[in-house]
Amino acid sequence: MRILLVLWLCLPGWVNAEIYQWQNADGSKHFSDRQGGWKCRNRSGTDATECPVAEAKKLDIKPGHDFYRVKTVYDGDTVVLEDGRKIRFLGINTPEVQHRNKPADAGGDEAKQWLIDTLKNTKVRLEINAEKTDKYGRTLAHLFTETKQHINLQLVEAGLAAVSIYPPNLLYVNELVKAQDQAELAKLGIWGRPEYAPLPVSRLTEAGHPGWTRLLGKVVNVRTTRKSVYLEFSDAFEARIERKWLDLFPDVNSYLGKTVEVRGWLSKSKGHLSMLIRHPSAIKTNTVF
């Protein structure tokens, strides 16, 4: 019977099943997913209806989670667990810390220190979404502490991280976007720093802009190709949306003629600057010059 109970706890389809336990006169324990217990034998030796077991008790069993100690905090959105796995937080991006010959971004050290302080003397569990790892081999996850703190969300709430959604990983998107809206309105963390103020597209130079950037301008044209849709802001800059994720967005033509803010990383090709927009949360339409 102990083996049966273990199977109940381990098989995903039975995790939410009700489990009852009772004890025979000889002291043997029995388990079942029905309060009536196992089928009895009638006088003819065939199965009869279930034998009622008055003393059968419903077990309060909750699915377990594996918790891990964080060995190293790499930066505000990346940690290394005690088992050696490198974890990249899903749905968010914090400013970079100093590494190699690159100086720290504004707010990078603050995000890292907050994470160090928060994860001190606690363990974390992981929630994985559609993609388990990224192209660098890092495990992609939402982190929760033993006291149910959602670390990804709290970084956004404190203004230490910006929402950065990579479909198809859409777990907790609504909560993250709501938290960012509130932090931005209150000018918390990065939202109150001049380094992250929206930059008008008209002020972009050929060199572009390093790191995560906010750009503000009017969409003057919407252009489509087989793989992408382009929101053109000027002859020198456009935002690109991959067609495979268009269902996540409103009608892209609704952006035409509007002043919008786009958020992300600039890339340069043949002297032309572009920004890949993976999710509608990276486009803000309630923005004015």
- What amino acid positions are annotated as catalytic residues? 88, 96, 138
First-to-last C-alpha distance (Å) of the chain: 70
Q: Report how far residue 181's alpha carbon sits from residue 170's, in angstroms, rounded to the nearest whole number.
A: 17
Whose CA is closest to 264, among 214, 190, 199, 194? 214
Put residue 134 in one of left, alpha, beta given phi > 0 → left and psi -120 to 50 → alpha.
beta
For residues 265 and 274, is the Cβ–Cβ distance under 8 A?
A: no
Helix (H, G, I), strand (E, B) or coil at 181: helix
Is 21 within 8 Å of 4 (Cβ atoms)? no
Q: E-assigned strands of 83-138? A: 86-89, 92-93, 123-127
Rounded-to-integer distance, Cα 156 and Cα 184, Å:
10
Question: Is there a contact between 67 and 120 (Cβ–Cβ < 8 Å)?
Answer: no
Residue appearing with tokens 């991006």:
93
